[in-house]
Chains A and B, each alone.
Chain A
Amino acid sequence: MLKNRFPIFTNKPQLCFLDNASTTQKPDVVIDALKNFYENGNANVHRGLYALSENATENYEGVREKVRAFLNAKESSEIIFTHGTTEALNLVANSWATSNLKAGDEILLSVLEHHSNIVPWQLCAKKTGAKVLFTPINENCDLDYEAFEKMLSSKTKLVGLTGLSNTLGTLVNFERIVKSARKVGAKVLMDAAQLVAHKKVDVQNLDLDFLAFSSHKLYGPMGAGVLYVKAELLEQFEPWMGGGGMIREVHESHSEWNDSPWKFEAGTPSVADVLGLGAALDFLNEVGMEKLEEHEKKLFAEALEKLGQLPFVKILGPQTPENHCAVISFTVDGIHPHDVSGLLGEDEICVRAGHHCTMPLMKNLKVAGTTRISLGLYNDSEDLDKLCTALEKIHKRFQ
């Protein structure tokens, strides 16, 4: 679907790119937006009193509105631009958490989490004395919701979970999570780095407090990311980073902050990358998230079926498309995941191998690593056939 809109596939016709959970390829309009900014629009935002700078500011703020619409947030001031998901999560851990957590409080995560949604909380726990807890998964590699509910208590101040596991493709039921978390008054954060590229996410409908994602996993450029913060929370915490742009007045004795969201955007932002993200969102609107979901759902079922037919392949995690999308982790009998990935790479088939930045999950699954494919909107049956043929060849070579 739409491979012809992604110049890399024209330039590298043999490329079979199945590592979309790591980063996605960029459509023509995103590349054009970057080029156009540097060729025709380059100026800093919120500073110059000349047309070039004013236009840059207008376009940059225009993307904030596009992101608001994409997430169905209530106000565009709830959208903070960062340099990626990692920075967005660190912002919550350093700003909201240090202003609102104390010793004895609990932060409830899960073993499905990416290191980016673990390590900032461990650092935060060191500073605040709060405790980090991990919800287990059940035998189907779904989140153990009953265990989650038992772990919740009045001590739980934040629930931070991935929307979609980057390693197993497990979907997390946030309707249920938010409902349970509200009973104990905990705030809820979604690491949506993976999910937003595959499903429509509505922050109001889900009643989320925080949501983080990266542009580059959503067909946009590297270097831009988003943190959504529910409006009523925005004034409840101090900024994390200080610098230009985030202040109203600076005195020798003290400073006064700018309004939200700008008070959380210290320094020159990645303007071109944010504009590229805007172009990616336009592109997704043009494609239609429903159409994307439908295409990926079909392809995902096909991938599970085709890999399932290879007797030497063992799929980890959910074996059916229910509560599961876009990502499949597997092992190949007798062959190290790095060799599978390295040999596929020699055939221009790009997959990821290793622990996928989820070492606690690997320990739970009792494996050192897996080979992982992750789908994007441009993948097709031909990519899957190429993968399976190459896997058969690799298996034969090692026999």
Chain B
Amino acid sequence: MELYKDNIIDLAKHPLNKGEIAGATHTGSGVNVTCGDHVRLYLKLESDRVEDASWQGEGCAISTAAASVLTEEIKGKSLSELKGLEKKDLFDWLGLEDLGPARVKCVTLSLETLQGCLN
């Protein structure tokens, strides 16, 4: 399967929601020790609903695209919807099927970071 589809490259070149948001209610950081990729997530929740979301960090095209779509798609979602998010949702948003063991962490880093900052 082709991993580097045009949508992934476009998101790597023009990431969405990159930067810190003011008044974040939830933040969390995650690191992929093996490749050095790191992400910091910022969420602003109001009445248990995501008002705004953003991220900062550095990583490969896959992890940049994943952090971009994750922060985009969770806007407007409720806290319980966030808690119910699975790996598959992120893959669907990226238009990818499951990845091999070497690259799957590039996708799941931002999701795991999100789950971490909600707990």
| A in complex with B | yes
List CB contacts (< 8 Å) of B48-76 with chain A: 58-62
Q: Which has the most chain A C-beta neighbours within 10 Å: B2, B3, B12, B60?
A: B60
The contact string, 1 if C-beta is below 8 Å from chain A, for chain B 96-119, is 000000010010000000000000
CB-contact partner of A339 in B34, B58, B60, under 8 A: B60
Known: A336-B61, A339-B61, A398-B13. A355 touches B2 (CB 8 A): no
Q: Name the residue on B nearest A340 (C-beta).
A: B60
Task: Give CA–CA (A118, B23) in the complex, Å.
Answer: 45
Q: What count of chain B residues pass the 8 Å CB interface test?
A: 16
The contact string, 1 if C-beta is below 8 Å from chain B, for chain A 153-182, is 000000000000000000000000000000
Interface of B is mostly: loop
* CB-defined contacts of A397 to chain B, threshold 8 Å: 4, 9
A-B contact count (CB 8 A): 36
Q: Name the residue on A nearest B36 (C-beta).
A: A368
Known: A338-B60, A397-B9. A369 touches B103 (CB 8 A): no
Say if the beta carbon of B35 comes within 8 Å of chain A: yes
* CB-defined contacts of B36 to chain A, threshold 8 Å: 355, 368-369
List CB contacts (< 8 Å) of A351-390 with chain B: 354-355, 368-369
**A317 CB → nearest B CB, Å:** 19
**A169 CB → nearest B CB, Å:** 22
Q: What count of chain A residues pass the 8 Å CB interface test?
A: 13
**B94 CB → nearest A CB, Å:** 14
Interface residues of A (CB under 8 A from B): 335-336, 338-339, 342-343, 346, 354-355, 368-369, 397-398
Pairs across A and B, CB under 8 Å, 24 listed: A335-B61, A336-B59, A336-B60, A338-B35, A338-B60, A338-B103, A339-B4, A342-B3, A342-B4, A342-B60, A342-B103, A346-B3, A346-B4, A354-B35, A368-B35, A368-B36, A368-B58, A369-B35, A369-B36, A397-B4, A397-B9, A398-B9, A398-B12, A398-B13
Interface residues of B (CB under 8 A from A): 2-4, 9, 12-13, 34-36, 58-62, 103, 106
